[in-house]
């Protein structure tokens, strides 16, 4: 299939310039709405990479009522921005499991809030449109209605992630080109991500994507599209209140979970949208969000955090004298290129491959034990790169493909966990969504952590575990589909004692 590549400057020519909006302007509006009744966004993150755009927020890998109580208390006592992330890992689950997990999390969050905290719910998913949609927002809306009696008027869909090259313009979701292709846009349905074995899709126009994924339940013509003419309505006067009113006016007709898609190209667009959503909710609309990583930062009025330095990554902790552990599970093209660059440049690192085919045999347990022994021996000498074999084994059956992915992830988790308890590494980097989720929750046994900030501008987050055997070890959550070929090398260089 030939890709339809266009120039971003040409696509943007039909729309107004952005409205300049300070993050504090949004933060003040959010604070004003919470003055009498505190409001917290609960972000159900279908893999842990959604935290890469925020800083200094609590993140949970378990969701008992007590965990939410801890998070709400943390927000209140530390006066942090009003959001908490919950690592659901539902992108690795089948639909029934994903639905059950979403329901349990929403029920427990509402129980912990106990009427003392107003909750908003965010279903955070992939900026390249992979994930359980519309199932997850459907379940969240149904659970909220069952528990509180409140209906959801609209589901706001914002997959854009400009820091990683994903933008929505004129209702169409694009991927920006890099290198020699910089300045170009390719419709996301024409990229490798649209061919995902479990979550593939055919439409880049968001309204048609909604119709496709909802199997016609939401016709494209019924989707409310907030294009840049609406998002930037106040451009001529540089007045964000004009845009806020235009957005809220456009949402007046939303009812019964009407899908709402929004154009986003810049951080100012996120802030303009946040002000419009705040106004819409002030008028009484009940909204739910299905979004990519940066939406929450814009919605709560958080400044863009500069990339953490090497010193900041270890602040308050004494790093191990051993090597660091870099775990690579993702199979997308950019990950393989990043892995190749790291192994080529970090010549002192030890590279150990996990053979996926051996994990699917009866001898898998013995094979994993051998890998653990090799990793521990190598960590005494320096950094260790552990990666799964690059041959992607998949089937035409989505459920079978997920099962294979989970088998591989379970093996990676076992390697990390046994290594941690034998010889703790200096740092841990996990590359890939499912990989980084399972490594966090099971490999490192993190239950509660604080997202300290990004390791690269706008992408790749550092978690500081506050409990468990990994406490004090910087944990780097690195999405499979972000960064350029050198990004994994750059992050490793920041953390390594010998690179």
Q: DSSP labels for 406-460?
A: HHHHHHHHHHHHHHHTTS--S-EEEESHHHHHHIIIIIS--SEEEEEEEEETTEE
Q: Are residues 163 and 294 in contact, defined by beta-carbon separation less than 8 angstroms?
A: yes
Mean pLDDT value across residues 21-41: 93
Mean pLDDT value across residues 312-336: 90
CA distances from 490 to 199, 310, 368, 422, 487 (A): 30, 11, 29, 28, 5
Percent over 70 (pLDDT), the chain: 98
pLDDT, residue 149, reads: 97
Q: Are residues 255 and 224 in contact, defined by beta-carbon separation less than 8 angstroms?
A: no
State pLDDT tens for residues 424-458. Answer: 999 999 998 878 888 999 999 999 999 999 999 98
Mean pLDDT value across residues 329-349: 91
pLDDT, residue 393, reads: 61
Which pair of tokens denotes residue 296?
């929450």
pLDDT, residue 395, reads: 67
58: helix, strand or coil: strand
Question: Does the pLDDT value for residue 392 go beyond 70?
Answer: no
pLDDT, residue 390, reads: 59
- Cα dihedral sign, 280-286-289-294: positive
Which pair of tokens denotes residue 143?
């659970």
DSSP 19: P
Mean pLDDT, the chain, rounded, equals 94
Domains of the chain: 6-300 (3.40.50.10840), 310-495 (3.40.980.20)
State pLDDT tens for residues 169-228. Answer: 999 999 999 889 999 999 999 999 999 988 999 999 999 999 999 999 999 999 999 999
Contacting residues for 480 by C-beta, under 8 A, at least 6 apart: 329, 330, 331, 332, 334, 335, 431, 432, 433, 435
Which pair of tokens denotes residue 126?
């992939």
Number of residues assigned to the chain: 499
State pLDDT tens for residues 4-27. Answer: 999 999 999 999 999 999 999 999
Q: How far apart are CA 379 and CA 385, in angstroms?
A: 10
Strands (E), 105-144: 118-124
HSE-up of residue 284 (Cα within 13 Å, Cβ side): 3
Mean pLDDT value across residues 286-297: 97
Strands (E), 88-205: 118-124, 154-158, 166-169, 172-176, 184-187
Percent over 90 (pLDDT), the chain: 83
pLDDT, residue 239, reads: 95
pLDDT, residue 125, reads: 96
Sequence-separated contacts (24+) of 189-197 with Cβ below 8 Å = 190/1, 190/3, 190/4, 191/128, 192/332, 192/333, 193/126, 193/128, 193/129, 193/130, 193/332, 193/481, 194/128, 194/129, 196/130, 197/394, 197/395, 197/398, 197/401
């Amino acid at each position: 299939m030939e890709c339809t590549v266009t120039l971003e400057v040409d696509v943007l020519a039909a729309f107004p310039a952005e409205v300049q909006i300070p993050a504090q302007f949004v933060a003040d509006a959010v604070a004003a709405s919470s003055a009498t009744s505190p409001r917290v966004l609960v972000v159900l993150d279908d893999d842990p990479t959604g935290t890469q755009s925020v800083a200094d927020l609590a993140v949970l890998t378990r969701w008992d009522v007590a965990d939410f109580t801890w998070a709400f208390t943390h927000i209140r006592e530390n006066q942090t921005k009003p959001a908490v992330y919950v690592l659901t890992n539902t992108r690795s689950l089948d639909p029934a499991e994903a639905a059950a997990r979403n329901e349990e999390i929403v029920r427990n969050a509402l129980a912990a809030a106990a009427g003392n905290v107003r909750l908003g719910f965010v279903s955070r998913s992939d900026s390249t449109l992979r994930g359980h949609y519309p199932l997850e927002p459907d379940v969240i809306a149904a659970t909220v209605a069952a528990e509180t009696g409140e209906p959801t008027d609209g589901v706001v869909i914002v997959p854009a992630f400009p820091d990683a090259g994903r933008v929505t313009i004129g209702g169409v979701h694009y991927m920006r080109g890099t290198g020699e292709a910089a300045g170009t846009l390719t419709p996301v349905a024409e990229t490798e991500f649209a061919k995902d074995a479990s979550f593939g899709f055919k439409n880049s126009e968001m309204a048609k994507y909604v119709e496709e994924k909802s199997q016609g339940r939401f016709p494209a013509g019924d989707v409310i599209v907030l294009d840049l003419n609406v998002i930037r309505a106040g451009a001529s006067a540089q007045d964000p209140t004009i845009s806020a009113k235009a957005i809220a006016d456009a949402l007046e007709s939303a009812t019964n979970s009407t899908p709402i898609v929004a154009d986003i190209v810049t951080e100012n667009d996120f802030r303009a949208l946040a002000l419009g959503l705040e106004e819409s909710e002030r008028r009484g609309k009940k909204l739910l969000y299905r979004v990519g990583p940066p939406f929450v930062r814009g919605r709560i009025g958080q400044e863009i955090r500069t990339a953490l330095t090497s010193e900041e990554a270890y602040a308050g902790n004494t790093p191990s004298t051993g090597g660091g552990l870099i775990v690579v599970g993702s199979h997308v093209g950019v990950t393989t290129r990043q892995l190749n660059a790291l192994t080529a440049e970090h010549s002192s690192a030890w590279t150990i491959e996990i053979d996926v085919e051996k994990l699917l045999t009866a001898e898998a347990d013995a094979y994993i034990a051998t890998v653990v022994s090799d990793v521990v021996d190598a960590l005494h000498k320096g950094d260790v790169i552990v990666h799964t074999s690059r041959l992607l084994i998949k089937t035409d059956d989505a459920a079978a493909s997920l099962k294979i992915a989970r088998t591989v992830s379970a093996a990676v988790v076992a390697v990390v966990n046994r290594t941690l308890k034998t010889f703790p590494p200096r740092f841990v980097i996990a590359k890939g969504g499912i990989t980084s989720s399972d490594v966090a929750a099971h490999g490192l046994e993190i239950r509660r952590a604080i997202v300290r900030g990004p390791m690269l501008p706008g992408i790749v987050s550092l978690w500081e575990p506050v409990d468990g055997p990994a406490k004090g070890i910087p944990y780097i959550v690195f999405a499979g589909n972000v960064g350029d070929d050198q990004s994994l090398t750059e992050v490793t260089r920041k953390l390594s004692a010998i690179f």
